[in-house]
Structure 1
Amino acid sequence: MPLDPTLSAVELTRAICDVPSVSGEEAVLADLIENAVAGHQHLRVTRHGNTIVARTELGRDRRAVIAGHIDTVPINGNVPTRDVLVDGVEHLWGRGTVDMKAGVAVQLKLAVELADPALDVTWIWYDNEEVAASRNGLGLLAAEHPELLTGDFAILGEPSDGEVEGGCNGTLRVVVRTSGVRAHSARAWIGENAIHGAAPILARLAEYRPRDVEVDGLVYREGLNAVRITGGIAGNVIPDACEVEVNYRFAPSKSVEQAVEHVRSVFSGFPVEVTDASAGARPGLDAPLAQGFVAAVGATPRPKYGWTDVARFSALGIPAVNYGPGDPHLAHHDEERVPLAQIIAVEEGLRAWLTGGTGGAAGA
């Protein structure tokens, strides 16, 4: 059944959530979104794989990029959606309601309805955000068609509780290794236990005190944590190797290189292998369009602790924020649910800014 952008944002959210689109299986939903935006004279539509781009070309002197991913983590009995009442507040429950199909629905509705926005807009719905970065539709688009991502300001519809979250922390994963000598566990003194050798690594992590770092007026919370530990080959063999995987979340004032240097210093004396790294994004709230946007939606900006695709825009020199309905704590949760009023409020906020209302894009 086709998506109908004339529905309310709540009902459109319901319709989009009821189309399963686990990462790698977004084709059906991408088809529906492409069909929903095709044929509107104010939009030029481009498809790249399962990523849909719809651009206005009105000759405005500024352009905003507004993007959202259409994939979800795996479904666990939480599709189709249903209405639920939580503490007297009406919610829409189900996979994707928070992360991030409510934001996608708001964007789709506004893309079709706003034929004459106060600035040019590039709307992007992309695939494979929840999996390996090499598959990320926005990243692939940036690599192959960067001209489609150009703009003066970007908004990512990630769940932010209807508030504005500026920038994001960077993330780094490393493996810290110890080595030993195999032996029969009945004669352990002949060998050297690599797992025991990892005790200083765990002690340093337990003693580590992460910093709160202020960046452009927002305070980001860092974190350094073991997320996996492996070692040993059998129940009667002293292990000769142990690996501790560590995740470092670092403030956007640090570069990836500085983050790597910091982690190596924490684990001085041990081999450290970097397995994954993504830079963060500064808040970008000093940009004129960002200031007008914050005023239009009536928000008090706060930091984004997790990594999001705002970092991709930041790497392109485009200031970007997160703004979408849904509590981030419920993203990927089996009780994922979004307040109906929050969907409506985000729609109203974006509409006010894009149409140049008080404090909106026209006055930025």
Structure 2
Amino acid sequence: MPELDLSLPSVDLTRAVCDIPSVSDDETTLADAIFAAVSALPHLDVVRDGDTIVARTQLGRAQRVVIAGHIDTVPINDNLPTRPVVEDGAQYLWGRGTVDMKAGVAVQLKLAAELVAPRVDITWMWYDHEEVAAELNGLTRLAANRPDLFAGDFAILGEPSNGQVEGGCNGNLRAIVRTRGVRAHSARAWIGDNAIHRAAPILARLADHTPEEVEVEGLVYREGLNAVRVSGGVAGNVIPDLCEVEVNYRFAPSRSIDEAVAVVERFFDGYEVEVVDLAGGARPGLDAPLAREFVAAVGAEPRPKYGWTDVARFSALGVPAVNYGPGDPSLAHHDEERVPVAQIDAVERGLRAWLSAP
């Protein structure tokens, strides 16, 4: 089993974590390494639930902060092992997971090992299956099995945020919009009814759509409604009787999940619509006292989080949560995924200073 040396600098630890492949559904090797590393730390109580690892200080502090990061990545595409690169004089670490979000995971592991007596009690979480459907998420399972582990006054997700604080997150909905027709031999197409052709107005409607910008508690969230997959047809000589357009809706955190479903159903009025994945957003949560202290301590200017993250899970449990991690979100899942070394160091310094302050 690979071993993780938590005494390494965060940049080197990032390389070590990234170079243990952990595509969703294949996180066990990395989870084993994390479990072994943190179980050796006497100041932490460690719990394992599947491939999710939780490590807690129990110092009797007046407040508790939850700091979490997912250990899975999207599929590898010739972008492992990691390697250092230099662009315009700046140092980067290149490779799958460096941005989303193993640099954040490495910083959390480093601090979990070294912050023996922090100013608040800390619950560290490293969890599986974030990059896939919401029902598979390790935090979903953990919340069902051990809801007590989510207790906290404030939560931080180490998702990539360019080393800035991103409050809340958009919600995420996926739906299948269907058109139906009649099969026929393609040599006699007039006998049938082409379901793929019937989908053309759906795509035109989406192409013409202008996403809304919605202000929530001082932060402006940009929504998105896009086709992400089209499928249909059974053979090269058969007129298709079914076409499915998969649509992804990113909706502002001011909308409830019921309101988001209603938006999609209205937009595709007249078509068959099936919602297949749905996760609510999270309001910024920056008015919580600990959140204000944290933002001031790291010297950040809060921004909105456009993508969905697990801050939504904590928000739903009444725990205000923000995103704070190294890496440019626009490079998440990119084949040229790379994180600035300076951001890894800066996030470590920011968290260490805040958590260590008297």
Q: TM-score, normalised by structure 2?
A: 0.95
The Cα shift of 1:58 comes to: 1.1
Alpha-carbon distance in 1 for matches of 2:6, 2:204? 55
Q: Map Cα deviations across residues 203-251 of structure 1 (whole Å, 9 max, x no partner).
A: 3212222100001111000111111222233333333222222111100
Alpha-carbon distance in 1 for matches of 2:184, 2:76? 45
Partner of 1:359: none
- Are residues 212 and 22 of structure 1, via their aligned partners in 2, closer, same or farther at CA, if it must alter by over 3 Å? same
Q: Which amino acid aligns with 2:143?
A: A
Write the mapping of 1:168-183 to structure 2, written as runs, cut at 5 A: 168-183=169-184
- Are residues 80 and 228 of structure 1, via their aligned partners in 2, closer, same or farther at CA, if it must alter by over 3 Å? closer
Alpha-carbon distance in 2 for matches of 1:230, 1:348? 48
Partner of 1:159: 160
The Cα shift of 1:46 comes to: 1.0
Alpha-carbon distance in 2 for matches of 1:74, 1:241? 29
Q: Map Cα deviations across residues 157-188 of structure 1 (whole Å, 9 max, x no partner).
A: 11111111111111111111222233333443
Q: Map Cα deviations across residues 248-268 of structure 1 (whole Å, 9 max, x no partner).
A: 110011111101111111111
The Cα shift of 1:145 comes to: 0.4
Write the mapping of 1:8-87 to structure 2, written as runs, cut at 5 A: 8-87=9-88
Mapped pair 1:231 → 2:232:
yes
Q: Secondary structure at the match of 2:301?
A: coil
Q: Secondary structure at the match of 1:59?
A: coil
Write the mapping of 1:133-148 to structure 2, written as runs, cut at 5 A: 133-148=134-149
Partner of 1:308: 309
Alpha-carbon distance in 2 for matches of 1:235, 1:39? 59
Mapped pair 1:241 → 2:242:
yes
Partner of 2:91: 90
Partner of 2:266: 265
Runs of at least 5 residues in structure 2 that lack an aligned partner in the other structure: none
Alpha-carbon distance in 1 for matches of 2:4, 2:341? 19
- Are residues 190 and 322 of structure 1, via their aligned partners in 2, closer, same or farther at CA, if it must alter by over 3 Å? same
Alpha-carbon distance in 2 for matches of 1:253, 1:274? 20
Alpha-carbon distance in 1 for matches of 2:201, 2:336? 39
Q: Secondary structure at the match of 1:314?
A: helix
- Are residues 126 and 350 of structure 1, via their aligned partners in 2, closer, same or farther at CA, if it must alter by over 3 Å? same
The Cα shift of 1:110 comes to: 0.8
Partner of 2:331: 330
Alpha-carbon distance in 2 for matches of 1:13, 1:81? 9
Q: Which amino acid aligns with 2:292?
A: Q
Q: Secondary structure at the match of 2:205?
A: helix
The Cα shift of 1:64 comes to: 0.5
Contact 2:134 2:277 in 1 (8 A): no
Q: Which amino acid aligns with 2:153?
A: D
Partner of 2:219: 218
Which runs of 4 or more aligned residues in structure 1 lie more than 4 Å from their structure 2 counterparts after TM superposition? none
The Cα shift of 1:54 comes to: 0.7
Which stretch of structure 1 is more off in the superposition, 121-130 or 233-242? 233-242
Q: State percent identity of aligned pairs.
A: 73
Partner of 1:291: 292
Q: Which amino acid aligns with 2:31?
A: A
Q: Map Cα deviations across residues 39-71 of structure 1 (whole Å, 9 max, x no partner).
A: 433211111112111111111111100001112
Write the mapping of 1:183-198 to structure 2, written as runs, cut at 5 A: 183-198=184-199
Q: Map Cα deviations across residues 125-171 of structure 1 (whole Å, 9 max, x no partner).
A: 11222223332212211111010111111101111111111111111
Q: Secondary structure at the match of 2:20?
A: coil
Contact 2:112 2:124 in 1 (8 A): yes
Alpha-carbon distance in 1 for matches of 2:321, 2:234? 47
CA RMSD of aligned residues (A): 1.6
Q: Which amino acid aligns with 1:75?
A: I
Contact 2:134 2:279 in 1 (8 A): no
Which stretch of structure 1 is more off in the superposition, 258-267 or 11-20? 11-20
Q: Which amino acid aligns with 1:97?
A: T
Partner of 2:282: 281
Give the number of aligned pairs: 357
Which stretch of structure 1 is more off in the superposition, 301-310 or 197-206? 197-206
Q: Secondary structure at the match of 2:11?
A: helix
The Cα shift of 1:325 comes to: 0.6
Alpha-carbon distance in 1 for matches of 2:185, 2:102? 55
Q: Secondary structure at the match of 2:16?
A: helix
Alpha-carbon distance in 2 for matches of 1:69, 1:93? 19
Partner of 1:341: 342
Q: Secondary structure at the match of 2:254?
A: coil
Q: Secondary structure at the match of 2:234?
A: coil
Contact 2:173 2:279 in 1 (8 A): yes
